[in-house]
Structure 1
Amino acid sequence: MTITATGLTKAAGAAAAVAGAIFVTVQIGHPSTGSFTTETTQWVARSGAKSVMAALALAGITGMYVRQYRKAGVLGLVGYLVFAVGYLALLSVEVIAAAVLPDLVDSEPGFVNDVVAAANGGTPNADIGGLQTLLNVAGAGYIVGGLVFGIVLFRTGVLTRWAAALLAVSTAATAALAVLPESFNRPFAVPAGIALIALGVSLWRNPRDVRQNGPATVPSTAMAVSPAEQPAVR
């Protein structure tokens, strides 16, 4: 099988679309923080799905950036890197949530409760170490990176502009969840998922620059004239 740049870009588009679909799906019927504990199978399933989503989203935004890096400029690079760091941190958080926290419920219940509280924007009762930094990086990278990257995608106009605008607005709006009731958490996530789906489809349908492949023409003024054909200078 031959791997081409176009094929990789289309794969990145598919990854972004699937990531957006997963992000929307995991919000459906999501339990409240008070009843959602690491002891349940649903916790592991949802955290695992979010891990897959973060990995696919990272591949998707990488394809989006590579598709238009010349037009994106320095701001595009900064936006992509910050957004990518946010998704990497989110991936790490969700892997820990799915694979580590359930095993600590019996031995370290207080620590687990503090991590869950911090992940939902609350204040932990005790120090949770580097996990707090990881959560902060995930949140800041998602909000700031999503805003800047969405603005750059909108400015370049290579992909669907309304989806780029939705990505910028929806990720930035996440900052408001710090002061809003928990009931807003799930609805606020849906627009970002829709934006990823639309951008992924747009990347799939528009994986490379369209170039004219017609025969090359040479201006007559640029054609070389052999010495034998040159007029004599009198």
Structure 2
Amino acid sequence: MQQKPPRKTAPEPVQGALSHSHELLLALAPIHSTGSSRRLFHAVGNIKRWEVVMMVNKASSLSIAYTSYSPNLIRKAEKITGLLLKDHPIPFSSNTVYGQAMDGGKAMFVQSVKQAIVEIVPRSISALTDTLISTFKLGPGILAPLRVENETLGLLKVNGKFIDENDIPVMESFAGQIATGLYNLRLMQKLQDELSARRSVEESLKHSRDLLHYRRPIDTSPTPRYTLPDQGPGL
């Protein structure tokens, strides 16, 4: 009996990337059907295999729009640092890790988490960097710009034990889908705002026409003149 040749399997890193691809495809399904950015962020955050942070572009800084870390963990970190996560702007420039990801337009693997954190926290609490890394159990991760139509809307940050450089193409594609979803939501919101403004103007014009229509007409005919009949020469 002829034996079947052993089944070929992909190398372990490739298997990991393929597994991630499958999970991301499942997560992509609800992204383009969500009606708000909040729902979109939650759809992405439902992937339990890793931790996700999404930041939106605010000129020269980033603002955290969503994180999959637990509220209890966030409060613990806020108590340690004295900072409110949602209110703390994340500065970036071309010579920082976050700036390189934003300006480069491509996903990048970040091996040194400590360096990335030192660059974004105030100097007054930089000594707490190791504590923050331990609290959030941070490891190497991937930063992927949320880029669409030559515009960078923000940044996707993914950390997890199973993340490595082989996941860069997958995360880059995933970030592109998220960016497209956000971009479409913006267009939809802009269209809704324009329709609302147009409806408001039309209602205002209709109200003005109704007022003119129901207002009592003013008599503009000339006032008649009465003259006394001629009495002839006076007596």
TM-score of Structure 1 vs Structure 2, range by shorter chain: under 0.3
Which structure has the highest strand share of the two? 2
Please report the TM-score for the alignment, with normalisation by the length of structure 1: 0.25
Which structure has the highest helix share of the two? 1
Q: Which has the larger radius of gyration?
A: 2
With a CA cutoff of 8 Å and minimum separation of 6, indicate the structure with the bigger relative contact order: 1
Please report the TM-score for the alignment, with normalisation by the length of structure 2: 0.25
